Chain A
Amino acid sequence: MPAIMSHVSRRKSILLAVAAAVLIIGIVGLNIYRTRQQVPVEVTTGTAKMETMGATILTSGSIELVEKQEVYAPSDRLVREVPVRVGDQVQKGQILVALEADSESLSLLEAQARLAEQEVIYQKYFNPTAVDLKIAEAEFKQAQLKYQSSLRNAESHEKLYAAGAVSLQELETARSQLAADEAAYLKAEKEWNQVKNGLEGAERRSQEAAYHRAQEAVKLAEQNLAQFVVPARIDGQVMAVEVNPGDVTKAGQHLVTIGDPRRLEVKVGIGEYDAARVKKGQEVLIEAAAFPDRQFKGQVVEVSQKAFVNRNTQTQQVEIPVRIAVDSEQEGLLPGFTVDVKIITVPEKERLVVPYEAVVEKDGQKYVYVVDKGQAKQVPVQIGLEGDLSIEITRGLQKGDTVILNPPDDLQDGQAVKITSGQVQEG
């Protein structure tokens, strides 16, 4: 019996040992087999999808009149007349405001009178009429005859004096008269020649200068007067009137503003990093706080070729001025409104996009890893527009492709991947 028990125990031990060996071999074998297999890399994914995308630059500015005239008081003056009111349409030359300007008015009249005088003289010498010629000739002949008469008279008095028929005083009177008539004759001859042939040399230059000087004097007098009796320099609408007749202005005080309310513009400053993207002719969308539900349209009309430092900000930003014309068809905006401006540098359209995190770059080439049957497939792509959160893919992907976000640096083409659940992001 003990022998049988011993045999059974030995057999049991052997069976146990075999079972343990099989277990151990199986465990070791399975582990080694599994280590030869790739451990799928856990990745988060997104989807390539179509999205309306464009590129814009946001900035702000204020509405201004394209063309305007602002009238300021040149000095302390009494306001005589304000013939316009806000909203009136005015034409060029129409008086906007008249301040007290008696001395300036008188100065203008004097200057005009002198100009008129010079014009007569100028015309006589530079563009004489037939009448001028006849008058000059007549005056010459008259002077000539008078001189000849005086000459004969003087000769006669010489003979009579020699004969003792006249006194010395009479002779000298005749001589004196002869001299005066001779001078007049010469003068008339010269005048006649000048009218007939025109002025020459220094006299010509002097007369021309006098004429021009008279013209300039009139202009100056007009300008002086215009400070006080202000005409409109443009056709437009009266936008603001800040004085009334009888008011006394102070020097520099704003009086009247006119402009064309249909021609508005916005002046904005864009950063130097955006400057290359803004071009003349680009569409602009304008929003004003006064019209929260409306969008106005405009167009870039000028991009400055020089940058300026904006010292209004604490950081002194470099800005490039841009002028934007507001479409004249749109009503509602008023000068002075602060507006938000969106410059459309690239028009919106449907584009294939993926999240930014999907695109990687290696050796100058952009790639995206697409999940294909549980494996990462490296796909070279071409990128286009870059948005805030996504980037356009112009070549390499199709709509619906599952792309890996933030792929590990050592992710290989063809490597097994496992999508982490609950973290899929849309493009």
Chain B
Amino acid sequence: MNVSLNNQEQMSLGRRIIAVFNNPRTAFEDISEQPRWLPSLLIITAVSLMAAVASIPKIKEYSLYTLEQQAQIAPELAASADLVVNGAVAGAVLVGLFSPVFICLLYAGLLKLFNLFVGEPTQFRRFFGVTVYSYFPILIATIIATGIIMVSPATHLEEISTSLYILFPPGSKGFAASFARQIDPFFLWSLVLMALGSSITSRARFDSYAVFVLGIWLIFALGSAFLAQGVF
């Protein structure tokens, strides 16, 4: 669906969200004018929290399963089953509640930092608006993953992913598998949207922000993969 931008006609929330997917340039031009990030952030947080709550039964089951495995080696762990399970549930809820805003703030900060060197000086809230609206592909991945979790055995919770890790056999370890876990198309989609939105907002080249954003991601992905191997 085409959305024509009129300087005097702002997009509604719904149209903005849709435009992020089918006409991101137009969407971010609107966002750069009026960030209005709060409603979107609330939606993102609410959906993320609901997904976490929906996963609680599976998380509990998985925590108990993992504890049983570890208790065979360290029996004293069995005494702390309740603590572990409650901790896992609390952690999932907190992640669902705060991870969207944390990620958006983090990337907004990085983009603002980059803006010191590239493009016209731009307010932080505009970058924040960009990152909030760029989060929606990640939200889709969250919804997909939650749906799969609910229909899959809890023992396979660790195997459920929307990344390229699903191309590896279950239980795969190693650098390649760990790196593949970081290559999530939805997350990369969000990063591309962030780069696009930042370039539009600060009137800079898309390439600059794309290299920066994807470079940050690559460093993080490689570091995570190496850490998973115990190299450091």
Residues of A within 8 A of B (CB): 5-6, 9-10, 12-13, 16, 20, 23-24, 27-28, 30-32, 34-35, 37-40, 42, 406, 408-410, 418
Contact = CB atoms under 8 A, between A and B. Distances in A.
Contacts of A418: 171, 173
Interface of B: 1-2, 21-23, 68-69, 72-73, 140, 144, 147-148, 151-153, 155-156, 159-162, 166-167, 169-171, 173, 185
A13 B1 contact: yes
B169 A37 contact: yes
A402 B25 CA distance: 60
A374 B185 CA distance: 32
B161 A31 contact: yes
Contact of B147 (A28, A408, A409): A28
Nearest to B153: A35
Contact of B170 (A10, A32, A39): A39
A27 B144 contact: yes
Please name the 7 residue pairs, one residue from A and one from B, whose CB atoms are nearest each other, closest first. Answer: A35-B152, A30-B166, A39-B171, A35-B156, A39-B170, A9-B2, A40-B171
Contacts of B73: 406
A45 to B, nearest CB: 15
Contacts of B140: 24
B152 A31 contact: yes
A100 to B, nearest CB: 77
19 contacts: A9-B23, A24-B144, A27-B144, A28-B144, A28-B147, A30-B166, A30-B167, A31-B148, A31-B166, A34-B166, A35-B152, A35-B159, A35-B170, A38-B170, A40-B170, A40-B171, A406-B73, A409-B72, A410-B68
Contact of A16 (B22, B68, B147, B173): B22
B152 A408 contact: no
Contacts of A23: 185
Contacts of B68: 410
Given A34-B170, A35-B152, A16 B21 contact: yes
Contact of B152 (A5, A6, A20, A32): A32
Contact of A34 (B72, B144, B159): B159
B21 A39 contact: no
Contacts of A31: 148, 152, 159-162, 166
A40 B148 CA distance: 20
Contacts of A28: 144, 147-148
Nearest to A13: B22
Given A28-B148, A35-B148, A35-B153, 8 more contacts: A5-B2, A16-B21, A31-B159, A31-B161, A34-B169, A34-B170, A39-B155, A406-B72
A131 B94 CA distance: 131
B69 A6 contact: no
